[in-house]
Structure 1
Amino acid sequence: MVVEVGYARAWDLEACAPWWPISAARARERDAAGLPYVAVYREPGREAPLEVRLVSWRDHYVGLWVYDALGRRTYDLDMRLLDDPSRLLRRYSVGWYYTGPGMAEFDKTCPRITVDLYPDGKGRRTEERQGQGGGSSITSPGLRDDERWMDLPAFGEWPLLSAQVHGLSEPPAFETAEVAEAAEPGEGDTPATCWRPPRPAQPGPINELFRPGVRVTDGYHPEMTVVEPRRVGTLRVPSGLLAVSGPDIRHGDGLPCITVPVRPGEYVLDEARTRFSYHCEWRDAEVTTTEATAVRLLVHETPAATWEMALGPDDDPRLFIEQQIAGFDTDGATGCFADAGA
């Protein structure tokens, strides 16, 4: 079997097609520079690709998307390059098992299996079933080391990783697609419809929650107005190390998971509030209420220009999948600020 390999700057999710095809030589240059690019594997006569490999070494990331003959994605593998430059961690994968040709891509009722792996050997396998009984089950993956990690091939030497899925018993012969050379667009010109490397969750309108008069929404109530924050107390941090944690959670060394250095002193606690109206079904009337939305420890009167996620000592941003957050454990859905020295 002959498989054509083409390269491009990106993969357009809406069109399910490569965006801005590039030559293999140009793709090799981007690979060496750590810049994003994609490799598309096609079988002659088949409209949908066999698989798409998405690479961005500056983000420690290689992705693999496998497609069926109907153009539906059936497998999504997220691999990460960590401290060992010779191998990749199979960090996260999702497999969709469509029950028929009429089932749409990513249908909510489609059975799927998700595997979440970490370099320390821990992980979780979640199987979501369809039909009578439905539900899901969570187990330990129980994988061998060679099933968790993959040796990193050199550029141009990647195998067709989905060969077994497509029923290929013999290694295919690869042919490189020909591309007319053209000036490439700038790095910031990639359309919004194109794939990008996974990003952890980004901060929301944190400052705005404490600015009276700002209009916000929680997704359920479209018209919410920020009112004056309420000062609820003070916190002394004599050690100069602020702890953010669940109040009843202790780690093995007795220290909180997340700590942030601040100047030793006493800081005020503010509670953000919003006012909004909604229809109360119990009263069968329109009701206006004020509710708390956030609590902050004000370490400086000057508003923050940018925000970044606070990380614990074991949090590695290289492992974060799309929209993942760092945080702390809690048994009661509660959190607290405290002096770490206490």
Structure 2
Amino acid sequence: MVVEVGYAQAWDLEACAPWRPMSVEEARKRDAAGLPYVAVYREPGGKAPLEVRLVSWRDHYVGLWVYDAEGRRTYSLDMRLLDDPSRLLRRYSVGWYYTGPETAEFDEACPRITVDLFPDGRGQRTEERQGQGGGSHITSPRLRDDERWMDRPAFGEWPLLSAQAYGLIEPSAFEAAEVAEAAEPGRGDVPANCWRPPRPVQPGPVNELFRPGVRVTDGYHPEMTVVEPCRVGTLRVPSGLLAISGPDIDHGDGPRITVPVPPGEYVLDEARVRFSYHCEWRETEV
């Protein structure tokens, strides 16, 4: 079977199509530089892709999406490059099992299986069933080391995972797809409807939490108003090194970091906010 491989700067989630296609040479340069790009595998002339690979080495991330003939995503795999740069952890995966060709993509009624793995060997497999009985069945995945990890392949040497999904036994022959338009991968921002590499959450506007009158929200609670901060004490740092740990540090596995600061005493203020909400039991704002 011949499989056509095309490259692009990003993947348009709405159009299910590559955004800013590029040549193999340009994709190879981006791979070497660690910049984000996607590789799209499809049968020649096929409308829906067989699979889409999303690569961003600078973000320590590789994603893989497998599609069916209806253009629905059937499998999603997130892989992470951790301490060892030569191999990838199969960090998280989800598979959707559509009950018919008319079932919508990601339909809530669709049975699916998710697998959550951690580098220390722990993990969780969740099977969400539908129909009579329904519910979820959670187990601990029993996987070999080579099932949790995969060697980091060289550019252009990724295995075709969709070959298993489509029952392709014979080795596939790959050929480069034609670039339909001139690529300008270095110009302009990637549109909001395109895939972006996952990145750590950035710190919020901490200073705003100490300015009375500022309106803030955390996306879950209603809009809140910052009130006057409360002085709670002082912190002495004679060594010039501030140690910070997570709330579960007593268990020995919590996060911990040290931050250099000028030695001295630091005032501790507690940020406070005020908000109201409608209480359905009292039928009033509280």
TM-score range, shorter chain: 0.7 to 0.9
CA root-mean-square deviation = 2.6
Task: Name 2:224's counterpart in structure 1.
Answer: 224
In 1, Cα distance between equivalents of 2:221 and 2:123: 37
- The code of the aligned residue for 1:109 comes to A
**Offset at residue 100 of structure 1 (A):** 2.8
Task: Name 1:322's counterpart in structure 2.
Answer: none
CA change 1:208–1:72 in 2 (3 A) is same
Alignment of 1:178-217 (within 5 A): 178-179=178-179, 182=182, 184-186=184-186, 188-217=188-217
In 2, Cα distance between equivalents of 1:126 and 1:264: 49
Q: Is the Cα–Cα contact under 8 Å of residues 213 and 226 in structure 2 kept in the other structure?
A: yes
Alignment of 1:1-342 (within 5 A): 1-179=1-179, 182=182, 184-186=184-186, 188-237=188-237, 240-246=241-247, 249-251=250-252, 257-261=255-259, 262-287=261-286
**Offset at residue 82 of structure 1 (A):** 3.8
- The code of the aligned residue for 2:256 comes to I
- The code of the aligned residue for 1:282 comes to W
CA change 1:27–1:245 in 2 (3 A) is closer
Q: Secondary structure at the match of 2:171?
A: coil
**Offset at residue 207 of structure 1 (A):** 2.1
In 2, Cα distance between equivalents of 1:132 and 1:249: 44
Q: Is the Cα–Cα contact under 8 Å of residues 23 and 181 in structure 1 kept in the other structure?
A: no
Question: What stretches of structure 1 move > 6 A for 4+ residues in a row?
Answer: none
**Offset at residue 65 of structure 1 (A):** 0.5
CA change 1:54–1:220 in 2 (3 A) is closer
Instruction: List runs of 5+ in structure 2 lacking aligned partners.
Output: none
Listed one character per residue, the Cα deviations across residues 26-65 of structure 1 (whole Å, up to 9, x for unaligned) are 2122222222111101123432111001111222222111
**Offset at residue 219 of structure 1 (A):** 3.4
TM-score (norm 2): 0.86
**Offset at residue 281 of structure 1 (A):** 1.9
Task: Name 1:310's counterpart in structure 2.
Answer: none
Q: Is the Cα–Cα contact under 8 Å of residues 64 and 76 in structure 1 kept in the other structure?
A: yes
CA change 1:58–1:132 in 2 (3 A) is same
Q: What percentage of aligned pairs have identical amino acids?
A: 81
Moved more, 109-118 or 195-204: 109-118
Task: Name 1:328's counterpart in structure 2.
Answer: none
Q: Secondary structure at the match of 1:100?
A: coil
Task: Name 1:296's counterpart in structure 2.
Answer: none
CA change 1:231–1:84 in 2 (3 A) is closer
- The code of the aligned residue for 2:284 comes to A
In 1, Cα distance between equivalents of 2:199 and 2:244: 25
**Offset at residue 152 of structure 1 (A):** 3.0
CA change 1:127–1:180 in 2 (3 A) is closer
- The code of the aligned residue for 1:210 comes to F
CA change 1:201–1:107 in 2 (3 A) is farther
In 2, Cα distance between equivalents of 1:270 and 1:211: 12
Q: Secondary structure at the match of 2:53?
A: strand
**Offset at residue 10 of structure 1 (A):** 0.9
Instruction: List runs of 5+ in structure 1 lacking aligned partners.
Output: 288-342
TM-score (norm 1): 0.74
